[in-house]
Amino acid sequence: MTELIHLNSLHLNYLSPLLKWRVMDLESLRRECFQIPKYKNFYRVIRNLEKKKVLEGYRDPFSKKKFIYLSPLGESQLSIRENTNALSKDTLLHDIKVSEIVRALLEQNLIVNAELEHQIHDKKTFNNDFGITPDAVLYLEKHGKKIKAALELELTRKSNQRITEKARQYLDSSFYQKIIYVFSQKELMKKYQEVLLEKFGDDIIKRIHFFYHPELTFKPTNFESVVTYIDGHQMSLKDFFIPK
């Protein structure tokens, strides 16, 4: 039988940001709390919740940061949703990076708002306008226009069929004005470009944009270093959001 954990107001203050961001490093989670606690007290409570299986943790081997996310037990006791969807360990690195990228975009005022995949799934229960579900929806203003951009983080190679089918769904939808693919490898980005250009032609570059950063998975996000090349000229992801 699953043990019932009584979460008090202190626990809710510490854990509520995880309902939005899913997975966070300890310091980022502490800063997101409604009342920012002292680190020693915060860490003690987090460790206790790990022992009680409300939380699970992951230590990044490169940054040495400790990341925290809700376990299935924690999801079931904290979420207001009837059907919870706990993080999968198979996609943990991907989900960590998506969360980091989106939070950094917001912190640097490059976007107005954002929704992660699990939030989009919740909305789709009531609203089918989203259609295809990206890793995140980014809301931004560009040249005085409000834009909804789909963010796709690609760390591993998909089959050509999966690549083209997802792109087709985006191109057939009018919900997203821009689709942003971000890669950790230049060669992986080039492969996606080749597959999609061959399938759909040069017109896709008006809506689909490709960026990469070779150290994306193990260094802090610097959007001036996340780049692409257009007509032989380098363009950063920061430049994309704030055109000069």
pLDDT per position in the chain (244 positions), as tens?
445 567 888 888 899 999 999 999 999 999 998 888 899 999 999 999 999 999 999 998 888 899 999 998 888 888 766 555 667 888 899 999 999 999 999 999 999 999 999 888 776 544 556 578 999 999 999 888 899 999 999 999 999 999 999 999 999 988 999 999 999 999 999 999 999 999 999 888 889 999 999 888 877 778 999 999 876 788 999 999 987 6
Question: Sign of the C-alpha dihedral, residues 227, 107, 98, 57?
Answer: positive
Between CA 114 and CA 117 the distance in angstroms is 10
Between CA 219 and CA 139 the distance in angstroms is 25
Amino acid 220: pLDDT = 72
- In sequence order, which ranges of the chain are alpha helices (DSSP H)? 9-21, 26-32, 39-51, 72-78, 92-107, 117-124, 160-172, 186-200, 237-241
pTM of model > 0.75: yes
Q: In this structure, what is the dihedral angle of CA atoms 125, 80, 118, 139, given to the nearest 10 degrees?
A: 80
- Paired tokens of 216: 């994306």
Amino acid 137: pLDDT = 95
Q: Which amino acid is at 81?
A: R
Between CA 17 and CA 24 the distance in angstroms is 9
Q: Rounded to the nearest 5°, which phi and psi values hold at 85?
A: -140, 85
- Paired tokens of 75: 């999801």
Between CA 231 and CA 243 the distance in angstroms is 16
Of 89, 90, 116, the C-alpha closest to 102 is 116
Between CA 198 and CA 225 the distance in angstroms is 28
